[in-house]
A and B are shown apart, each in its own frame.
Chain A
Amino acid sequence: MVEKCFIPTSLAEALEIRKETKARPLAGGTDLMVQYKQGQGITPVFPWPVMIISSIGELRGIEKGEDGSVLIRALTTPYEIANCQDVPYPVREAASRMGAVALRNSATIGGNIGNASPKGDLPQPLILLDATVVLKSLDGDREVLLDDFILGSKKTDLRDDEIIYAVRIPKVEYTHVFYRKIGTRRANAISKLSLSCLIRVEDGAVTDFRASSGAAGPKVIRSRETEAILKGRRLEDVKSLIPEVLDGWNRAISPHAMPEYRRNTTRRMLEHFLLESVSASSECIIH
C-alpha cells in the first residue's frame, strides 16, 4: 500500500514529480477512483503514488492550429469537447454521449485515453481520425499515433516519466461521416459497441474511406487493408464492393462477449453507411 499523494500546481512541477516518484496523474477521478475504491467511508487505496493534476491550467483548453488540426489538452472535459465546434463531428458526438452530465463535467480526455479501456468512448473516433498523443517529460516531447499508443486493454505506451499533455487531431477531409454508440441504455451508459466511419468522394471517386470499431476487441479496431478496398474506386463501383468490405471488417474485429450481436450490428451499420453515402446527393452526416 502506497499512500503518497502530490498536488502539483504547474506542469513543470508535475513533470519533476513524475520523474522522481513515478506518481501517476489523477484528474477527473471517474475511472481511477472507481477502480481503486474501497467502499463507503474508506479512502481509495492506490498501488502507486498519485498526483492530483486537476488544478494545472496549462493542461486545459482546445486550440485550433493553422494547419486545421485541433489540439485538445489533457484536462479538457467531455462537456467542453462536445460543445466545441472546432472538434470534428464523431469526437464531439462521442463526448456528448459519455456517461451522464456529472461525468462529462469531470472526466478528461487524458484520462479516457490513458486508462485505455476497450469500452472508452473517445479513443474510437480519435483513432478514426489518426489522432496523435502529445507526451511530455523533462527530457522533451514525444508525439505518437493514438492507435500505437494504446497497446491493448488498459495498456499504453506511456513511459514512467511522461505525462499525457494533449491529443492532436489532424485535419481530415470527408464528405460523409457516421458515428453510433450502442450503450447499455439510452443515457448514462457504457458502450456495448460503437462505430465511426467516414468517406471522401471527389469527382466521383473515393479518395478516403475509414472505419473504426469500439468495444469490439481489446482495443479500437482499424483495418487499413479493408479500407484500401474502396480507396481510389469509382463511386458507382462501391456498391458491388460492399460485401468484400463487410467481410474484411468482420475478420478485423474480434469481439469477446456478445460476438453475434457485435458482428451483425457492425456489419449492418457499415453497410448502411456505405449505401447511404453512395446515394447521398451532397456532403452530409449519415444517421
Chain B
Amino acid sequence: MIEFVLNGRQVRFSGNPLTRLIDVLREDFGLTGTKEGCGEGECGACSVLRNGKLTTSCLIPVGAVCGDEIVTIEGLRETEQGKCLIDCFAEAGAVQCGFCIPGMVMAAQALLLCNSHPDEDDVRLAISGNICRCTGYDLIVDAIIMASEKGAGLW
C-alpha cells in the first residue's frame, strides 16, 4: 500500500508501485489536468510539485512518492497563488493550444516558491524544461513576471 498526500488530502494506492505517477493521477484519481506530452521527462507537460519541487510525473514510479506531498494543477488552482498565476497567464496572452500550460503553471509556481521576485532570466531558466510549441515563450515569461508583481506577498 502506497500512501501520499495529494493536493492536501491523504491518499492510498494499492496497485503496482512501478506504475507511473502520471497514470495514477489521471486514471486512478481522475486528475486529467496533468498532461502527457512525451512520456520521458523531456517536455514538462506532466509537471507536478513533489514536496514543493518541480517533478515530471511521467518519470516517477508511484512507489517513490511514499509519504511525499504531491500537488497537481487541480490542487494549485484552488489556492490564491494558483488563481493569480492562471489569471495572469490569461491576461498576458500566454495560452495558445494550452496543452503545455498546466505544466507551465506548475513550473512557475515552483519558481515563485523559492524566488518571489524573479527577473526574465530566472523565469526563462525555470521554464526551460517545459516545451511550448506555440508561443515562442515571450508571453509566458510576461505572465509569470506579471504574477510575481500582481501577486506580491502571496509567495
Contacts and interface: CB of A to CB of B under 8 A. Distances in A.
Direct contact of A and B (CB under 8 A): yes
Interface residues on B, range: 35 or more
Contact of A37 (B40, B107, B130): B40
A188 B55 contact: no
Given A7-B63, A41-B23, A43-B23, A102 B17 contact: no
Interface string B111-135: 0000000000000011011110000
Nearest to A96: B125
Contacts of B61: 5, 26, 29, 33, 44, 52
Contacts of A223: none
Nearest to B2: A7
A226 B147 CA distance: 54
Contact of B42 (A5, A28, A188): A188
Max count, chain A CB within 10 A of own CB: residue among B41, B60, B129: B41
A54 interface: yes
Interface in A8-45: 26-30, 33-34, 37, 39-44
A251 B51 CA distance: 48
Q: What secondary structure prevails in chain A residues at the interface with B?
A: loop
B39 A37 contact: yes
Nearest to A45: B18
B129 A34 contact: no
A34 B56 contact: no
A284 interface: no
Contacts of A214: none
Contact of B18 (A43, A105, A106): A43
A67 interface: no
Interface in A96-133: 99-103, 105-106
Interface in B35-77: 36, 39-42, 44, 47, 50, 53-56, 58-61, 63-64, 66-67
Given A101-B125, A103-B41, A50 B66 contact: no
A50 B129 contact: no
A52 B63 contact: yes
Nearest to A41: B23
Given A99-B41, A101-B54, A52 B129 contact: no
A83 B84 CA distance: 30
A131 B46 CA distance: 35
B110 interface: yes
B16 A43 contact: yes
Contacts of A188: 42, 128-129, 131
A33 to B, nearest CB: 5
A105 B59 contact: no
A55 to B, nearest CB: 6
21 contacts: A3-B16, A5-B61, A7-B66, A28-B59, A33-B40, A34-B40, A34-B41, A43-B23, A52-B17, A52-B61, A52-B64, A55-B64, A101-B110, A102-B44, A102-B47, A102-B55, A102-B56, A103-B129, A105-B55, A106-B55, A106-B56
